[in-house]
Structure 1
Amino acid sequence: MKTPPGAGSSATGSLPRSVHAGYALGSLATGAFGTVPGLLLLPYLTDTLGVAAGLAALLVLLPKAWDVLVNPVAGRISDRTRSRWGARRPYLLVAGLALAVLFASIFAAPFGSGPAAVAYVAFAFLATATAFAFFQVPYVAMPAELTGDYAERTRLMTWRIAVLALAILVSGAVAPLVVSAGGDGVTGHRWMGLFVAALIALGALGAFLGTRSAPTGTVGESEPTLRAQLAVAGANRPFRALLICFVVQSAGVATILAGVNYFAGQILRDEESGPTLLFVCFVGPALLVMPIWTRIGARLGKRTALVVASLILAVGAFALVAAPVLPAVAVYLMVALLGVGYAGQQVFALAMLPDCIAHETARTGRRQAGVFTGLWTAGETFGLALGPGIYGLVLQLSGYVSSDTGSAAAQSDTARLGVLLGFTLIPALLIAPPVLLLRQYTLTAQALTDATPDGRVDHGVVVGDESR
C-alpha cells in the first residue's frame, strides 16, 4: 500500500537544536571530501607524481564520474533498508568510517612515482568515491524525512551549510599547510591524508550519534524497479531544472577550487600562504552572511535568491580576470565576494531539493527521497569531478609543465594565462547561464500546501515563501 502524502516526515514542527547540530556535523565529511581532492589531487598528480596535466585531469574525473552510476543504486538500497537505526543512519556510520580510511589511502603513495603510482591513485580514488556515495546519498535524503515543515527544512539546511562552510575552510585552508609542515612532496601529502581522514571520521560519527534521537520517518513503498524510480524523478520538472542548474554550477565552483594552488603560485606568486589566504577569503564570508541570505530568501523566495547568489558568484569570478594587474589585497577582497555568492548558491539549492522530494511524495504518495538524492549527489559529485577535469584540460592546452619534485616547474606566459582563465572566465561561464533553467522551477510554499491534502506546511516563518 502507498504511503500517504507527507509520510516519511514524521515531524511537522521544529526539530531540537541538538538534531540540527548533529545532522550538520555530517558536512565535515562531505565538505572535506568535496574540497580536498578538488583542491590538492590535481596539483599532487602534476607537481609531485609528475603526471601530465591532461592525464591527471582524467584521473581526477573518471573515478568520481563512476558515482553517476553508483549514487542512484545507493539511494535505492537505502530506501529499502530496514534497521533499528532507521533507513539512513547505518550508512552514516559504516560508509562514513570506510570513507575516512580510503581517503587516507589515496595519498599513501606506496609505489612512489611512475605508472604503478598513477594506477594506485586511480584505484584508491575510485574506492573512496564509492564509499562516499553510500554516505552522501542517505545523508542528503534525511531532511525530507526528519521534518515535513517547509521552513524547518531550510533551517536544517542553514545549519548544514554553515558547518559545510566551516569544513571547507578547515580542510581547504589547513590541508595545504599540513602538506608544507610535513615536508611537501609525498611525505607531506601522506600527513595531509591522515588529517583529512580524521575530519571525515569525526563528521561521520557526529552525524550518526547526533541524530540518534531524531525521528526516522515512516518507510513507505517506493517504485518497484530502479528504471521506474529514475523515470519518476525525471518526470519531476522542478527537480530536473534544479538538478541540471546545480550540476553545471558545481562544475564551475570545482574549477575554481582546482585552480587555487595554481592561481596562488603562478598569478599571486605566493605558493606558501596564498592557497590558505584564498580559502579564508572564500569561505570566511560564507559563515558571516548565512543569516543575511536567510532573510533575503524570506523576502525574495528561494528561487530568486538562488539566481541572485549565482550571479554574484559569476560576476566575482569574471572580475578576477584583472588579477595580474591588481594589488593582492584587491584580489583577496574579490575572492571574498565569490564567497558571499557561493554561500547563497549552496544554501538555496540544497533547501529547494527537499521541497522537490516533498512535492513528489504529495503527488504520488510514494517515498522517493533516496532516488532523488541519489541522482542529486551523483550529479553533484560528477560536477565536482568535472571542474578539475576542465581545469586540467586548460592547463594541458596552455602548455603547463608537470614536475615530480613536489614544487611547480617554471611556466611560460601562455601556461600562466591558462591558469588565470581556468580560475576566472571559465567558472563564470559555467555558473551564470544555468540560472535560466530555473524558470521551470515553480515550487513555492503555497504550491506545496495546495498539493498536500492536509496542508501541513507552516507559513509562520517560511524562508523563500514566494507566495507572499
Structure 2
Amino acid sequence: MDAAHSEAPLPPRQGRTAAEEDGDVPRPALVRYALGSAGMGVYVTVPGLLLLYFLTDTLGVAPWLAGLALLVPKVVDVVLHPFVGSLSDRERARRGTRLRLLTAGCALAPAFVALFAVPAPVADRPWAAAVWVAGWFVAANALFASYQVPYLATPTDMAVGYHGRTRVLSFRMVVLTVGILAGGALAPLLAGEGDSVARYLVMALVLGVFTAAFQIVGVGGVRDLLPAGRPPEEGREAASGGRHGPGAALAQVRDVLRRNEPFRLLTLAYLLTSTTTHLVLAGLPYYTRHALGRPGFTTVLMAAFVAPALLTTPLWFRVSRRWGKQRCLLLAQAAFVAGALGLGAGDAAGPAVPVLCTLVLGVCFAGLQLFPFSMVPDTVREAGDGETERTGAYTGVWTATESLGAAAGPYLYSAALVLGGYTAARAGEEVTQTAGAHTAILLGFTVLPALLMTGSLAVQRRYRLDALASQTSRAPADGARRDRTAHGP
C-alpha cells in the first residue's frame, strides 16, 4: 500500500507558527552549530578508512584479529551510547542544558592520536598491537559519544518542525562532508602507503588538532541555539529518581525500540546502511591497491565519494520538500546499489568507470546521511511530549546503531579477506596475494555492499511515518498562506 494513503494524517502541533515549521532559526548560530560536525567527520572517517589497513599492512596483524580489534570496541558502544544518552537527559533535566557532557567530549583528540601512536615494542608484536589499538579505540569512542549524543539531540530539543529539522541537519551535513573530505583525503596523503607508524602518527596529530578546534566551535553553536533555561521542578525530580547505570541504559534501549515502531524500523534500516558505508570505507585502500593497481588512488576515490555531498545536500533538501524524505531516501539507497555493482568492473575500462561509479555513491551518501538523521527527530516528536523528555535516550540508541554499523562493516570486509586467504604484512614488506584474495577484495567491495544496501532498502520501505509527518507540516504553512490571501500581503 502507498505510504501516503496508509493512514490518516496526524493533526498539526498546536501553537507552532509556519516560520517555526520551516526552521526559522538564526543562521550564525546554525553555522556555528554545524561547524562542530567538521571534527566529527574526521573521527567517523579516518578510523573506518585506515585502521583495518593500518593493522594488517603496517603492524602485520592477521585479518581475523584486526577485524576483532575493531569490532569489540564498537560492541561496547551498544551499551555506552545509550548510557551517555541517559546521562545527557538527566543533565538537561537538572541544568536545562547538555553542555557539560558535550564539552567533556572535546577531549577526543588525544585519544585519537594515541590510536596510531603505537610504541615500537608494542608494534613488534601483532597481538600487543591489536590490544593497544582496541583499548584506545574504546577510550576514543567513549569521548566521541560524550560529544556526539548531546550534539545530535539539538534538532529534537529545538522548536522547529518537519522541514525545519531537515534544514538544521542539512547545514550539519554540508559541514560534516567537509570533515569527512578533510579526513578522507588528507589522511591517506599524510600516512603515505602505510610504510611506517611514524607517518600515521603525524597524520593523527594534524587531524587531531583540526578535530578539537571545530568541536569547541560546535559547543558554542549549541549554546546559542539552546540557551540554558531553568529546568522544571518535575524535570529535576525525574533526574534524581529512577535507576541509572548500564543496566538501566539497556532497559531504555528495549523500551524505545518496543514503543516506537517508526524509530525501530528506521534504526534497523540505518544499521544496514551504516554497515554498508563503513564497509566501503574499510575496503577502499585494498580496492585501489589490488583491484585497480593504483595505491595512490585512495585519495582520489575518497574525494569522489565525499565531495558530491557539498553540492547535492542542498539539492536533496529542496527535492525532499516536494517528495518527502522517505522517497528521497529510497532513491538514494537504490542508486547506491547500482553504483556499488558498477565498481565491479575494476580497472578493465580504465580509471574513469570507478571514478564515475564512486561519484554516484557520493551523491547517494549525502542522502543516506541527511534523511535518516533528520527523520529521527520526527519519530521522537510524533511519539508525544513524554518521549521528547528522553531525547538523549533515542539519540544514544541511534548513535550506538551507527557505531555498530561502523564495526560490522570493517569486520565483514575482514571476514571476506580471511575467506579469500589474504596475507597480512609488516611495513615495508612485499607480499604477493593469491587469486582468491584478489577475488575476495573485489567481491567484498562491490557485491557485498550492494546486498547489504538492498536489505536496508527493503526494511526502509516499511516505514510509514514520513507521509503523515510531511502532511502535518504542510497544515500550518497552508493556514498561513490562506491568512495572507484573506488579509492581503
Q: Is 1:159 paired with 2:168?
A: no
Which residue in the other structure is 1:191 paired with?
202
Q: Distance in 2 between matches of 1:194 and 1:460?
A: 54
Which residue in the other structure is 1:87 paired with?
97
Question: Cα distance 1:88–1:339, how it changes in 2: closer, same or farther (>3 A)?
Answer: same
List per-residue Cα deviations over 1:378-401 (Å, max 9, x = no partner).
Answer: 001110111011111111110111
Runs of at least 5 residues in structure 1 that lack an aligned partner in the other structure: 462-468
Q: Is 1:276 paired with 2:299?
A: yes
Q: Distance in 2 between matches of 1:320 and 1:294?
A: 27
Which residue in the other structure is 1:433 paired with?
455
Q: Which segment is superposed worse, 112-121 or 345-354?
A: 112-121
Which residue in the other structure is 1:340 paired with?
363
- Secondary structure of 1:121's partner? helix
Question: Cα distance 1:14–1:394, how it changes in 2: closer, same or farther (>3 A)?
Answer: same
Per-residue deviation, 1:438: 2.5
Alignment of 1:390-429 (within 5 A): 390-406=412-428, 409-429=431-451
Per-residue deviation, 1:189: 0.8
Q: Distance in 1 between matches of 2:462 and 2:414?
A: 33
Which of 301, 304, 309 is residue 327 of structure 2 equivalent to?
304
Greater radius of gyration (CA): 2
One-letter amino acid matched to 2:161: D
Q: Distance in 2 between matches of 1:125 and 1:303?
A: 34
Q: Distance in 1 between matches of 2:416 and 2:479?
A: 49
Q: Distance in 2 between matches of 1:16 and 1:359?
A: 25
Which residue in the other structure is 2:486 paired with?
none
Contact 2:273/2:452, CA 8 A, preserved across alignment: yes
Which residue in the other structure is 1:45 paired with?
55
- Secondary structure of 1:80's partner? helix
Which residue in the other structure is 2:128 paired with?
116
- Report % sequence identity: 36
Q: Which segment is superposed worse, 434-443 or 342-351?
A: 434-443
Per-residue deviation, 1:120: 1.3
Q: Distance in 2 between matches of 1:365 and 1:54?
A: 41
Contact 2:42/2:179, CA 8 A, preserved across alignment: yes
Q: Is 1:260 paired with 2:284?
A: yes
Which residue in the other structure is 2:483 paired with?
none
Per-residue deviation, 1:84: 9.9
Which of 171, 196, 201 is residue 183 of structure 2 equivalent to?
171
Per-residue deviation, 1:216: 4.2
Tell me the TM-score normalised to structure 2 length: 0.86
Contact 1:150/1:457, CA 8 A, preserved across alignment: no
How many residue pairs get matched? 450
List per-residue Cα deviations over 1:44-99 (Å, max 9, x = no partner).
Answer: 00011100011101111111111000000000001011599843222222112x21
Per-residue deviation, 1:443: 2.0
Q: Distance in 2 between matches of 1:109 and 1:52?
A: 17
Question: Cα distance 1:75–1:456, how it changes in 2: closer, same or farther (>3 A)?
Answer: farther
Q: Is 1:243 paired with 2:252?
A: no
Q: Which segment is superposed worse, 62-71 or 293-302?
A: 293-302
Which residue in the other structure is 2:465 paired with?
443
Per-residue deviation, 1:212: 2.6
Which residue in the other structure is 2:487 paired with?
none
Question: Cα distance 1:456–1:229, how it changes in 2: closer, same or farther (>3 A)?
Answer: farther
- Secondary structure of 2:217's partner? helix
Q: Distance in 2 between matches of 1:99 and 1:202?
A: 11
List per-residue Cα deviations over 1:92-113 (Å, max 9, x = no partner).
Answer: 22112x2111000111112332
Question: Cα distance 1:460–1:43, how it changes in 2: closer, same or farther (>3 A)?
Answer: farther
Which residue in the other structure is 1:55 paired with?
65
Per-residue deviation, 1:24: 1.1
- Secondary structure of 1:410's partner? coil
Q: Which segment is superposed worse, 68-77 or 132-141?
A: 132-141
Tell me the TM-score normalised to structure 1 length: 0.89
Root mean square deviation, CA, Å: 2.8
Q: Distance in 1 between matches of 2:254 and 2:416?
A: 34
One-letter amino acid matched to 1:380: E
Question: Cα distance 1:205–1:396, how it changes in 2: closer, same or farther (>3 A)?
Answer: same
One-letter amino acid matched to 1:43: Y
Which residue in the other structure is 2:215 paired with?
204
Per-residue deviation, 1:416: 1.0
